[in-house]
Amino acid sequence: MPPHDETTPVGPSGGPPRRPPAARATGGSGSAGRGRPTATRSGGSGGSRPGGSRPTGARPAGGKPGGGKKARTKKQRRRRRLKVALGTLLGLLVLLGVFVGVVYATTEVPDPSSVQRSQTTVVYYADGTTEMARLGDTNRRDVTLDQVSEAARNAVLAAENRNFYSDPGISFTGIVRAAWNNLTGGSTQGGSTITQQYVKNAILQNSDQTFSRKFQELFLAIKLDNNHSKDEILENYLNTIYFGRGAYGIEAAANTFFGVPAAQLTPQQGAVLAVQIRSPSSYDPESNPEGAQDRWGLVLDAMVEEGWMTQADRDASVYPPVLPKPQSSSLGTPTGPEGLVVSQAISELEARGYTEEQIQAGGLRITTTVDKATQDAALAAVNEVMDGEPRETLRQALVAVDPRTGGVRAYYGGDIGAGEGAVDYAQARRQPGSSMKPYVLATALDQGISVTSRRDGSSPQTFPDRDAPVRNSGGASCPACTLVEAMTRSLNTTFYGLAYEVGPENVRETALAATGMPETWPATGSLLDDKTTLAAPESGVTGSSIGIGEYEMRPIDQAVGFATFASGGVRHDAFFVSRVTDSEGTVLLENGAPAGERVMSEDVANDTTFALEGVAQYSRRALDDGREVASKTGTQGIDADDNSDAWMVGYTPSLSTAVWMGTDGYQPIRNSDGAIIYGSGLPGAIWQEFMDTVLAGTPEEDLPDRPVIRGDTGEGVPAPETQAAPTTQSAPTTQSAPPTEPTPTTPATPTETAPPDDGTTEEEPNDPSVPTVPTPPPSPVTPPPAGGQPTGPPTQPGQPAPTTAQQPQLTG
């Protein structure tokens, strides 16, 4: 190994190893090739180095061979970064250009006929395939552009797109505005051209003001503008736009609003229609005359600015008379009973923010919760039971909901679903009578008063908050009935007194929570509009008469309220729409299974249900095969002799159904034999037949077999020591159902005036009388004989068990 200088680096270096130059000999011995100098040499000359000095040519430690490159300046570094950025941007632009070219080349503009087909909204039953209705395909007639008056065309251009004939088909400012608002959450006003509106409304069918929608509009509008003339685009636009009142296209609109063809529209009439385009439901001259006329004036001003109208004509212009909004126009809604389902679905979507234009002209696919077979069963039950009955005066409603979701499974509000004479009796506000009593019981249970507690049910009774005495139907009396017995026998005095005891306002709160009813009635054009619900209309005060059902409810409210008991105290609000998609299948709305809201304890719901389980059997409306069911009848009286409303409401864990019967006003309700109608009569027959049909073949579901809440925290009465066996009256016959249905007469809108005040309006003459006898001691229920007819009404411990010869008549 060759010697080395001790100052030479011995570790690895950045370049190849270099030998130091050979040391020059100075007379001493040493090999010339070694090059290892002596550290010190006395008397040396010339070639000697001080000890530790670096040999000539040796590089410094850590240095690079050749000295290394010069560092870049800041300017050079900036230039390099700029070149990289420009190159990247150029590459992205090239890719974007390729993408735009491909998208543009593959974008197809549909022909007008396919556009109109896609605008039709279809409503389906719950299976999503069986059609219930087709909207938006009834009031349309296409015309050529020369069949539209020039004045009307100019009015539309003035309102929507003044530069239509000169713009490229798109509004760059509108796209930028939509992008900015999408990022900032600002206003989503459009500012689109007529071409973009045509694309949006007729092709995309998507009114969302988002950047993605504007991006789609961009390609379609540009290609549409390139492939079609401006006149063709305007003609298609005028034939497809929705003007409100069920009118699609300007020809239908001219006839609907003015009774003239589009060719005869004046500038003033054209301006009225032009105003409708922006928002048909908001600017209808009948519903919003002030707003419509304000915008009408702005359109005429724009026409003057564009030279399409002289200032003199503008000054002389007056708002033209508009035809009344056609009440008989069904807008494609079926005229049969299913039309009321469609109307409810439309109202539900409107409440969710869908506009009339979206619903009527958006090409939606609306799937309802109504099951076709269940709906058919409802119609069959009504028609069969009412066959031969005076349907020219009697009105009926049936609502069935799923307690687990709130989805409406069947809905019958009358035979006329749309057009002249259409009235939805399922939404009628009527007095529920004794079908209100379960809410009184639930309130008592919540306060610790059990269903085995006893209260005075003797008749008549007077109460501190009421002048007239309260009487039980038929003079029935029970001084010490349990609340279960009082519910089954529908004792008015018991539940009026119980409502007084637990607090009428508390009962109201229980009922509002269970049904989802609002604090005040919404405005629908009735006498109860804006009045406090479940209270006296004049004072807004809830009295103890809430316990016997003297404050109005709707059939759909009762179906939901009883469904809350069925679901263990969880309320699911009723709904009709389960799913909405566009014409391409994109899901816009999915209801699924709403979670619901707990409004009462499970124990309260359990015991309320337990108390209602004997009513159907007692009223001879037990379901087939002994299926367990909880129910309550109800009847509201006009006076001591006649009734105005009759109800039957009941449920299993999977189905809650309310049936109401009455008239358009508060007239007496009697059957074809002239007999008084009670809740367990015709309404009970409809309810029973419907429930048996729908539940046939389904698994039987258990209801509570014992109460949970014990004790009595209230004002109970002791059990009687001795009791006599009850006597009963014979039961009336149930009406038969002839095979054919009479044609119903056109009903009038039901009036919601208070029933006559003859001193008996707060005494519910419920159903045929219950004997005025003391309650017998608890006894088992007599099993029904062969054939299924019960021989005794009670199914709970502690209820009376009359003999066959003493069978009580049907009660409320």
Cite the active site residues: 160, 434
In this structure, how many other beta carbons lie within 10 angstroms of the beta carbon of residue 17?
8
- How long, in residues, is the chain? 812
The candidate with the shortest Cα–Cα distance to 113, out of 227, 251, 239, 247, is 239
Is 615 in contact with 632 (CB distance < 8 Å)?
A: yes
Quickly count: other Cβ atoms within 10 Å of residue 503's Cβ: 14
CB atoms < 10 A from the CB of 421, how many?
Answer: 17
Pairing of strands 365-368, 121-124: parallel
**The token pair that represents 405 in the structure block:** 């979701």
Bond before 55 cis per omega within 30 degrees:
no
The CB-based long-range contact list for 102-108 (8 Å cut-off, 24+ gap) reads 103/219, 104/219, 104/222, 104/223, 107/219, 107/220, 107/223
Q: CB 33: neighbour CB atoms within 10 A?
A: 8
Q: Count Cβ atoms within 10 A of the Cβ of residue 133 and give its class: 0-12 exposed, 13-18 middle, 19 or more buried.
A: buried
d(CA 812, CA 806): 18
Question: Is the distance from CB of 168 to CB of 316 less than 8 angstroms?
Answer: no
Q: Rounded to an integer, what distance in angstroms lies between the CA atom of residue 595 and that of residue 356?
A: 29
* Helix or strand run (H / E) with residue 612: helix 602-612
Distance, in Å, from the CA atom of 557 to the CA atom of 249, rounded to the nearest integer, reads: 40
In 336-349, which positions are buried (b, 16+ CB within 10 angstroms) versus exposed (e)? ebbbbbbbbbbebb
Q: What sign for the dihedral angle of Cα 738, 741, 747, 753?
A: positive
Backbone angles phi, psi at 147, to 5 degrees: -95, 5
Report CA dihedral (289, 295, 301, 302) to the nearest 10 degrees. Answer: -150
Separation CA 620–CA 246 (nearest Å): 48
What is the DSSP secondary structure assignment for residue 283, as one 8-state letter?
S
For residue 459, count CB atoms less than 10 angstroms from its CB and return exposed for 0-12, middle for 13-18, buried for 19 or more.
buried
- For helices 437-446 and 504-515, angle between their N-to-C axes, nearest 10 degrees: 110
What's the Cα-to-Cα distance from 425 to each of 84, 278, 398, rounded to whole Å? 74, 35, 9
Cα–chain center distance at 435: 27
Give me the torsion for CA of 451, 455, 457, 463, rounded to 10°: -130
653: helix, strand or coil: coil
Structure tokens at 87: 């190159």
CA 90, distance to chain mean position in Å, is 50
| Consecutive H or E run containing 587 | strand 587-590
